[in-house]
Amino acid sequence: MTAKKTTKVAVIGASGYAGEELVRLLLKHPSADLVAVTSRQSAGRKLSEVFPRFGHAAKAESLKFINPEAEEIGKLADFIFLALPHGVSAETGARLIRDGKRVIDLSADFRIRDPRTYAEFYGKEHPAPDLLKQAVYGLPELHRDQIRVAQLVACPGCYPTSILLPLLPLLRAKAIDPKRIMVASLSGVTGAGRKIEADYLFAECNESLRPYGVPKHRHLGEIEQELSAAVGEKIIVQFTPHLVPVSRGIISTIYADLNEAVDSAAIGKIFESAHGNEPFVRLLPEERLPDTKNVVDTNFIDVGWRLDPRTKRVIVMSAIDNLTKGTSGQAMQCFNLMCGDDETAGLL
């Protein structure tokens, strides 16, 4: 029996929520070997000191945070997860990619293929436009084969994941009118990252419900890009996110006009055909609607739907954990594909 092949990985920017979730998943992954974690403000501290919840793991005692610029990262690791803020990620990533590392970027920096769209949604020029072309959008259900062989994977945002997976099959099957899609999403507070700002203080979020980012949230860029690419025409989506007082979880409620002659059974078949064999998509039985508490701490997306005969619309509702299927779990799913592992390794 041959020893299991392991991959040496580093997490750059491991002190945020996405980074912490990556570390949680990597510490129990069967073939990943976490060899470096970086954080500017935590450099020099042990992993277990910064994240006491990992205190039982031998590695949490032995690994110390280093600076993200440390040269040793390239020597230690073959595979890099970037969990850095937007903008910062592209610069660090560019260097590592040129050094031949395989990289999964959790920021938005490489998600947009067209530099003009990037500039439109992010308000500045892209720092490494040449790399945009080679980046693969890391939604395994959509780009599985390209992810397997990619050097650079740009992991989708949490809202896009919750919206693309339910919407794409309906669009491709031409079951709905692509012109009139509206989405209302609810997100837990970790969706904003570990930002130390007044808006995210406990007493400001607790017992508070608030829409934000209306009408043009940054994630719309990648949502519309992927939808448009799937159907070959420019799609514009109405999207309103809301901040709600849970730590983790997203609900996306999607409204679309049904095309003639599409009934509930047809919708069911479309979903079954698109996602029936997906390991992380759970299509809910007719009587059930999604609830984030069923997906929190998992990599699943739960998808339910109802037809409204009065309006001839379908309402599709999805639930994910914004830090798992919405960010770091999805990154691990991509990692598994890139390494030729079982896609679900370390994720069930």
Residue 243, judged by CB atoms within 10 A of its CB (0-12, 13-18, 19+), counts as buried
For residue 39 the two structure tokens come to 């954080």
Strands 79-82 and 102-105: parallel
Given the residues 158, 205, 334, 339, the one annotated as active site: 158
9, 81 in Cβ contact below 8 A? Answer: yes
* Shortest spacing between CB 282 and a second copy, in angstroms: 5
Instruction: Report residue 298 as tokens.
Output: 């998992």
* Least Cβ distance, residue 292 to a second copy (angstroms): 4
- 327 and 297 Cβ atoms separated by less than 8 Å: no
- Nearer CB in complex with a second copy: 95/210: 210
CB of 115 to a second copy, least distance (A): 20
Shortest CB 47 distance to a second copy, Å: 13
DSSP single-letter state for residue 196: -
Nearer to a second copy by Cβ, of 71 and 260: the residue is 260
CB of 209 to a second copy, least distance (A): 4
Pick 67 or 247: Cβ nearer a second copy: 247
Q: State yes or no: is 158 an active-site residue.
A: yes
CB of 301 to a second copy, least distance (A): 11
Q: What is the dihedral of CA 39, 123, 188, 209, to 10 degrees?
A: 140
Closer residue to a second copy in complex, CB, 149/198 = 198
316 forms beta bridges with: 254, 305
Instruction: Say if residues 164 and 172 touch (Cβ distance below 8 Å).
Output: no
Nearest to 337 by CA among 150, 148, 152: 148
Tell me phi and psi for residue 67, to 5 degrees. -75, 145
Q: How far apart are CA 293 and CA 325, in angstroms?
A: 14
* Smaller CB separation from a second copy, 28 or 75: 28
Element (H, E) at 66: strand 65-66
3-class secondary structure, 35: strand
- Which CB atom, from 33 or from 297, has the smaller least distance to a second copy? 297
For the annotated catalytic residues, the residue numbers are: 158
